[in-house]
Structure 1
Amino acid sequence: MEGKRAGTFDWRMLLVIGVVVAAVAGFMAGYFVGSANQPETLSIVDDYGRSVKLSGPAERIVSVSPTPTEILFAVGAGSNVVGVDDYSDYPAEAANLTKVGSYTLNLEVIISLNPDLIVCSDLVPRSQLDQLATQQGIPYFIFATRTMEDVYKDIRLAGGLTGHTTEADELVTDLQTRVNAITSKTLAANVTKPRVFIEYYPLWTYGPGSFGDDLIRLAGGENIAANASNEYPELTSEFIIAQNPEMIVYTIGPMTTTTEAEIAGREGWSGISAVAGDNIYSIDDNLLSRYGPRIVDGFEQLAEMIHPELFS
């Protein structure tokens, strides 16, 4: 028996008029565009505080993480992407692009694509990226997303990197509207916060400082691993039983074969409130682990799972 799936909800500008306006816009977005008397240049600060310099909006981008891949396509810069990592399979156009490896990158293929920028998440080892930057002069930009606010920021940064600032701003406004429609209900003072356990791999979950922890909070739940020692802890079965979650959500993807029946049948779990109350749900792993626009789809589903009474 597979887990129950909740339904999905129906889901600056850098126009240089003068030096002052350009400077202000550049400051607000984290980048600067050259004046009319200078070659157009970009200096954009990534999520690691690194200043990444480009001669202009990136035109040939290699993305080595699914999150920036999805963000780039979402802001209208998909045609600028010439290569992606092995896991970037959304949207469909991305899946058909040249593959450049994953945690171990194929440097020869990347160089052959002649990119002017590489984008990645903070999970990608930097040694090979440093090698490309030092030996080939190819800059790289790191996205390190931990909260919903980070998603908005990174979408705007992607817009700035590619000259798609208007599209990025419009997308952020749409996502904020959708998120606010949920949190106006889930974060209300009178809403109870059920204990939630999200399992993305058997006994592995989201701890403090992780995006999953932020999603549970925004969705009106209490993360049983909120006080764990790291962002992605492996819990013990005994700890989970003691925490007695009222809601269990497990992810479905290539990394796990977990089912509702398997979870319910674990030794000692029959007395857990979520198991006894038949509150075990499944969700597409990509909607919780890829921190681009689709994270809002996952958030909407999660909120409905935790608080069905608010969205009936």
Structure 2
Amino acid sequence: MTTPSHSSSASGRPGPPAERVAVVVVTYNRAELLVGMLRGLAAQAHRPDAIVVVDNASTDATADVLAGAGADLPGLAPLTVVRSEENLGGAGGFHLGLRTAHALGHDRFWLMDDDVVPAPDCLAVMMAVDEDCLAAVREDSSGRLCEKAALRFDLTRPWAVKPKTAMVETTYGTRAAMPERVEVENVAFEGFMVRRRVVDRIGLPDPSYFIFYDDVDYALRAREAGAHIWALRDAVLVRQLDFDQQHDLAGWKGFYMYRNLFVVHLRYGENALVRAKPWLVTLGVVLLSPLRGGRAEARNVIRAMRAARGMRARPSSSVD
């Protein structure tokens, strides 16, 4: 395990140990975006102590980008590349990446997708805040606030069709209108920072989600363990791509959207009626399928409900 260094106080006496932070990045077939993201990390005023990149079996130029990153970006922190022989999805990638970074002994872990670029002072802003769970606040390439973290993620009312009932973007409209800190109830693994002691208590992200809602699940577990999650107005993270949340619910992504939303309700619904909501959603989609996605969406939601039942058990809190 790595031993933290100590800062010095004005009197010359050793101050509290400086925390070591590892960045955990998951990438898959987006070499050009990965280059921009790594440049952003190399430009950080507060240099991270390590970067762990999980390459999810990419078939493009990702391996070449990672192999040359140290020479091309002299300011880049030491890089550990973990190549998976299969695409584990974002959920499996963050499980593997956080497990790897945790084993290296760091104190904080900053989780990133490959399509975001942190402002040069982003990490410095976050490391200056003494909280266990933090989130950078996202904007698009034009500077417009696009942070979709939930101010309220409601798993108490069965009639709330969507559990996310308020989010940063729609509540504040602009970054300038935000308070310095905003408590949020879920996160994206795009700029989420978590301390080691939280990971030790709740374990790793659940790889069985594959994509979607793995970050929501992790935030729910962290909050159940007593952590607060603070979105920091001045920690700026820029998305290189526009959001695309309107997935084809009759396609493969739609299956994961439905299944994983159902899993969240079955695991964390705070009463029997909320935990029954996935069944009601399934029935509603099937009944309305002639007017919406047709038989393909109906088949998807039925498959999703069956699969979700097998994922009702909460993940282990082990980090091994």
Q: Same fold by TM-score, threshold 0.5 exceeded?
A: no
**TM-score relative to the length of structure 1:** 0.27
Larger Rg, first or second structure (1 or 2): 1
Structure (1 or 2) with the greater strand fraction = 2
**TM-score relative to the length of structure 2:** 0.27
